[in-house]
């Protein structure tokens, strides 16, 4: 058996170590310093490029903490109803639960696998008191944000954008991370750009960014003594980890191109199989973070069959598509609003599988994975 093939792992280039070493050499280990400043500047410049106004950034310890800050900034309070993408990772929903909000999950559309605008409208009809919507971009593919925005505007609702998986993706030319009223991205170890662990709040104005920074640094008042008028969090990213991200950012487009090559390779190889790839709508440029397949409904092969074949033949990792939040035991009492009789997100979970999407995969790795998948059919 050869090397283990990962679903996705960090890809380092060398610059990262130099910036981390510089932090050690200068003893800037605390969550403050030049690497942190530079990473925020890099992401700020990336988000602002091509935009009609500047964006402001606050680097924190995780995408989850960035989303929690966004919920706090938006004003989510105990008992507030929030409409949330159902087919997503738990980090989309958990920050809202931290604030003791009432979560109502919204099903996916088949066109993008993301939040269905029709189901969102139905959710507003059922819960007209709603003032907040949390929408996620699944596997790097942007949600249909214009349609979602139109629904939210009619109901005077604030959009919190979970762009954790969407760094480098564009919706109609606009960058993911700039599509909501409050926005967050992730730099987790498996993301297209990583700081080992980390995330960032992307704010429309400096005042919001400054409030995010205050909430991320335990909400200390600007006085000499330790004064706290509100609850804060210890969420600031360290200068050491920011050095990794500082070295990663110049490689964003390179990583995206390599992710797309994997997706295209899978798509071509599986043309004659009873499977389809995760959809990429015309409205977007995906970062192709993860490649996934959906097995045809009338096929007897199951995702676990393919997963076991990949492990046996290629020693390769795969994962079921995200288990919808409304199926999670922790949210067993929460509603899922859906248009189809059987929720689309449930169907995706029943028939979907994420394939190894590590940009370090060689041609030989891909041949082994493809062979393993084909062996099931």
Residues 65 and 200 in one domain: yes
Which residue, of 250, 266, 298, is where some domain finishes?
250
pLDDT at 31: 87
Residues 303 and 215 in one domain: no
What is the C-alpha separation between 232 and 219, in angstroms, rounded? 5
Residues 39 and 170 in one domain: yes
Residues 361 and 345 in one domain: yes
Indicate whether 297 belongs to any domain.
yes
Q: What angle do CA 199, 238, 59 make, to 5 degrees?
A: 30
Residues 229 and 256 in one domain: no
Asked if pLDDT for residue 335 goes beyond 90, the answer is yes
Indicate whether 238 belongs to any domain.
yes
Q: What is the mean pLDDT of the chain?
A: 97
Stretch 262-276: mean pLDDT:
98
Residues 128 and 26 in one domain: yes
Residues 25 and 157 in one domain: yes
Q: Can you tell me which residue has the tokens 């069959």?
A: 305
Percent of the chain with pLDDT over 70: 99
Residues 136 and 264 in one domain: no
Residues 107 and 60 in one domain: yes
Residues 227 and 316 in one domain: no
The DSSP symbol for 236 reads: B
Asked if pLDDT for residue 1 goes beyond 60, the answer is no
Assign residue 348 the CATH number of its domain: 3.90.1150.10
CA distances from 79 to 86, 101, 130 (A): 19, 5, 11
What is the C-alpha separation between 108 and 348, in angstroms, rounded? 9
What is the C-alpha separation between 116 and 292, in angstroms, rounded? 19
Residues 239 and 362 in one domain: no
pLDDT at 295: 98
Total tally of structural domains belonging to the chain: 2
Token digits of residue 181 = 């009223």
Asked if pLDDT for residue 154 goes beyond 60, the answer is yes
Strands, E, within the chain: which ranges? Answer: 56-60, 81-85, 102-106, 132-136, 158-162, 170-171, 174-175, 182-186, 199-203, 275-277, 284-285, 292-295, 319-320, 335-337, 352-354
Show the domain range for 26.
15-250
Summarize pLDDT for 207-253 with one digit per residue, the tens. 999 999 999 999 999 999 999 999 999 999 999 999 999 999 999 99
CA distances from 63 to 94, 103, 141, 177 (A): 11, 19, 17, 12
Assign residue 216 the CATH number of its domain: 3.40.640.10
Burial class (CB in 10 A: 0-12, 13-18, 19+), 299: middle
CB neighbours of residue 45 within 10 Å: 13
Indicate whether 2 belongs to any domain.
no
pLDDT at 2: 67
What is the C-alpha separation between 233 and 215, in angstroms, rounded? 6
Stretch 176-180: mean pLDDT:
98
pTM of the predicted protein model: 0.97
Summarize pLDDT for 304-329 with one digit per residue, the tens. 999 999 999 999 999 999 999 999 99
Token digits of residue 274 = 């009873």
pLDDT at 30: 86
Full 3-state SS string of 87-120? CCCHHHHHHHHHCCCEEEEECECCCCCCECHHHH
Asked if pLDDT for residue 272 goes beyond 90, the answer is yes
Which residue, of 228, 250, 272, is where some domain finishes?
250
Stretch 133-139: mean pLDDT:
98
Indicate whether 1 belongs to any domain.
no
Residues 68 and 212 in one domain: yes
Which residue, of 250, 282, 314, is where some domain finishes?
250
Stretch 53-69: mean pLDDT:
97
Summarize pLDDT for 340-374 with one digit per residue, the tens. 999 999 999 999 999 999 999 999 999 999 999 99
């Amino acid at each position: 058996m050869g090397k283990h093939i990962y679903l996705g792992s960090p890809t380092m280039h060398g610059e990262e170590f130099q910036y981390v070493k510089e932090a050690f050499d200068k003893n800037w280990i605390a969550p403050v310093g030049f690497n942190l400043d530079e990473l925020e500047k890099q992401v700020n410049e990336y988000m602002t490029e091509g935009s009609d106004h500047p964006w402001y950034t606050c680097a924190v310890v995780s995408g989850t903490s960035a989303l929690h800050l966004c919920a706090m900034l938006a004003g989510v309070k105990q008992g507030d109803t929030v409409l949330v993408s159902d087919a997503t990772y738990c980090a989309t929903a958990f920050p809202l639960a931290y604030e003791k909000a009432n979560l109502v999950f919204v099903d996916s559309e088949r066109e993008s696998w993301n939040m269905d605008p029709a189901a969102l409208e139905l959710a507003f009809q059922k819960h007209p008191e709603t003032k907040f919507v949390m929408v996620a971009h699944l596997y790097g593919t942007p949600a249909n944000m214009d349609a979602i925005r139109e629904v939210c505007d009619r109901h005077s609702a604030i959009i919190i954008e979970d762009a954790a998986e969407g760094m480098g993706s564009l919706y109609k030319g606009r960058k993911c991370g700039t599509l909501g009223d409050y926005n967050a991205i992730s730099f987790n170890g498996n993301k297209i750009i990583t700081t080992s662990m980390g995330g960032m709040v992307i704010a429309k104005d400096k005042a919001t960014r400054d409030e995010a920074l205050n909430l991320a640094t335990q909400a200390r008042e600007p006085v000499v003594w330790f004064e706290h008028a509100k609850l804060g969090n210890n969420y600031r990213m360290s200068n050491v980890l920011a050095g990794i991200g500082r070295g990663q950012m110049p490689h964003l487009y390179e990583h995206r191109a390599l992710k797309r090559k994997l997706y295209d390779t899978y798509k071509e190889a599986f043309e004659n199989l009873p499977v389809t790839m995760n959809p990429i709508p015309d409205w977007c440029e995906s970062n192709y973070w993860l490649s996934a397949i959906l097995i045809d409904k009338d096929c007897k092969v199951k995702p676990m069959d393919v997963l076991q074949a990949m492990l046996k033949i290629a020693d390769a990792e795969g994962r079921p598509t995200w288990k919808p939040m409304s199926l999670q035991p922790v949210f067993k009492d929460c509603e899922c609003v859906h248009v189809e009789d059987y929720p689309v997100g449930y169907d995706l979970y029943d028939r979907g599988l994420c394939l190894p999407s590590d940009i370090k995969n060689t041609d030989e790795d891909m041949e082994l994975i493809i062979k393993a998948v084909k062996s099931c059919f």
